[in-house]
Amino acid sequence: MAPSASVMTDPWVSFIIPAYNEAKLLPATLEGIAAALGPWDEPWELIVCDNGSTDGTGELAQSHGARVVHEPMRQIARSRNTGASIAKGQWLVFIDADSIPSEALLLDLKETLKADRVVGGGATLCLDRELPAFWMMWVHAWNGISRCFRLAAGSFVYCRAEAFRDTGGFPQDCYTGEEIWFSRKLKAWGRKKGMPFKVLSRHPLMTSARKVSLYSRGELLKTLIFSMFLYPFVRQRKGAWFMWYDGRR
């Protein structure tokens, strides 16, 4: 499902998707976003930043009506920033290539943006399939942290384009967790202007649970330990975050 040319003209919102070898899931994500935007009267655009893919991700994105920009250096933060560099919208929404927002979530987003009171925010998450209780516990825990501390998950971050530019975008000195630092920068920018950071929670974003199938229990636990206890020491080490960079799909 490709958006019409009129949708791409003078967009109000730019949806930006970083993607590395996402030929399997990206078409469903692009089609899902376009379908969920069906009730919108406001113009929007889809941007895919192809982060060095070798599986035709960029070509697939173009065939689905997205504008494509290329970022050769493999880093998620850099890919998001490169996508934002060509965005024309007043608002930017970053969505992962393995995540599909519902129509209800995007209507909630539109109402929030129309009110014009926030600097940006995120959304709570749900998985595309049920997992063992141990892993579901972490999803619920993150949702609680996200709401309580007003932090966005990287799979869904929205903000004013002005705030993005003024804060410098996602920090490029870390290979994961950049959305946490970016959330903090947005909140600081918003406080100066009386604009809160809002996490949308009525309609969670559906994101893929594929990592649980693609990685062993030991690999998953190793990454969990790095994230919880060792992050300050390994955030600049790309190899520590293999689950985001080794390309398993």
pLDDT tens readout for residues 2-42? 554 335 679 999 999 999 999 999 999 999 999 999 999 99
Gap between the Cα atoms of 145 and 152, Å rounded? 10
In this structure, is residue 205 part of a structural domain? yes
The number of folded domains in the chain is 1
Which domain range does residue 201 map to? 5-210
CATH number of residue 85's parent domain: 3.90.550.10
In this structure, is residue 247 part of a structural domain? no
Gap between the Cα atoms of 235 and 175, Å rounded? 6
Amino acid letter for position 221: L
Measured between alpha carbons, how far is residue 206 from residues 16, 29, 38, 49, 171 in Å?
A: 17, 10, 18, 21, 25
In this structure, is residue 235 part of a structural domain? no
Element (DSSP H or E) covering residue 118: none
pLDDT per residue of the chain (249 residues) written in tens, 0 to 9: 455 433 567 999 999 999 999 999 999 999 999 999 999 999 999 999 999 999 999 999 999 999 999 999 999 999 999 999 999 999 999 999 999 999 999 999 999 999 999 999 999 999 999 999 999 999 999 999 999 999 999 999 999 999 999 999 999 999 999 999 999 999 999 999 999 999 999 999 999 999 999 999 999 999 999 999 999 999 999 999 999 999 999
Residues 6+ apart with CB under 8 A from 60: 23, 26, 27
Confidence (pLDDT) at 9: 74
Tokens describing residue 237: 């080490």
Gap between the Cα atoms of 179 and 166, Å rounded? 16
Q: Which residue in the block uniquely carries the two structure tokens 């600049």?
A: 236
- Please name which of 185, 224, 179 lies closest in space to residue 205, comparing C-alpha atoms: 179
Amino acid letter for position 243: M
Cβ distance 22 to 248 under 8 Å?
A: no
In this structure, is residue 231 part of a structural domain? no
In this structure, is residue 244 part of a structural domain? no
Tens-place pLDDT, residues 127-156: 999 999 999 999 999 999 999 999 999 999
Confidence (pLDDT) at 8: 62
Tokens describing residue 38: 């069906």
Classified as helix, coil or strand, 233 is helix
The most distant pair of C-alpha atoms in the chain lies apart, rounded to whole Å, by 49
Tokens describing residue 242: 């293999």
In this structure, is residue 191 part of a structural domain? yes
